[in-house]
Amino acid sequence: MSRVSGCLALIIRFMSSTGLADSQDVIRRIIRIQTITVAWMTVEAVCALGAAWRAHSPALLAFGGDSAIELLSAMVVYWRFSSKWSGEQTERLAAAVTAGLLFALAAYVALVAALALLGRRDVRPSVLGITVLSVAAVVMPLLAREKRRLSAASASAALRADAAESALCGYLSIIALAGLVANAFWGITWADPVAALCLIPMVAWEGWQALKGRPCDCC
């Protein structure tokens, strides 16, 4: 996993280091970054959900659900920029879908966190879960940063929403990792669901901004 993380980080940094030449160059870069996202999120979702099932971990379950939603979002944005029907109407549809996914994610995290607080279960140690969370904590912020840069260059609210989901995935990975460590060493079983609940307003806000069609914070 560490080699995968290093390779992805090098690819993303290389893409960031090169200037944006024109609109076609921007679109090509967006398609490339979305291809990387789809590939990684597929691995991340499968591993996280598998680890959650084996370890009975609500934190890993929430993270795996986020990964699955991020995978769908990345596929929608990929379609938006690779489709021959790409235009204002396609952009609005893609932004609406990614905003809806953000709202769904907020509701999903709230449900999982509430269930974890109301009926806690013993969480088993998960080496696979810790490894996936550690890699995601490095890779996802890099993906989010590049997507924000490209969303500003392309004026795409859909890509901005997808960048928000990538950033959130990175935050959740850190929170879930901290929660597993706190539970394993100090028995603080409520740490990760409470922290996850604190993220919900930010998720809802990003979903609202995407629904309004804002490609960047300055618009």
Q: Which of 144, 174, 177, 178 is nearest to 161 (CA)?
A: 144
The neighbour count for residue 85, using CB atoms within 10 Å, is 9
pTM here? 0.72
The token duo for 78 is: 């990929």
Helices vs strands, H then E, count in the chain: 7, 0
The pLDDT-based confidence of 48 (bands split at 50, 70, 90) is very high
According to CATH, what is the number of the domain 21-212?
1.20.1510
pLDDT band for position 20 (cuts 50, 70, 90): very low
At 123 the three-state DSSP class reads: coil
Residue 56 is classified by DSSP as T
CA–CA distance, 169 with 183 (Å, rounded to integer): 21
Is it the case that residue 18 has pLDDT exceeding 50?
Answer: no
Quick one: pLDDT band at residue 109, thresholds 50, 70, 90? Answer: confident
Band the pLDDT of 120: cuts 50, 70, 90. Answer: low
Tell the residue number behind the tokens 């490339």, with chain if given.
Answer: 32
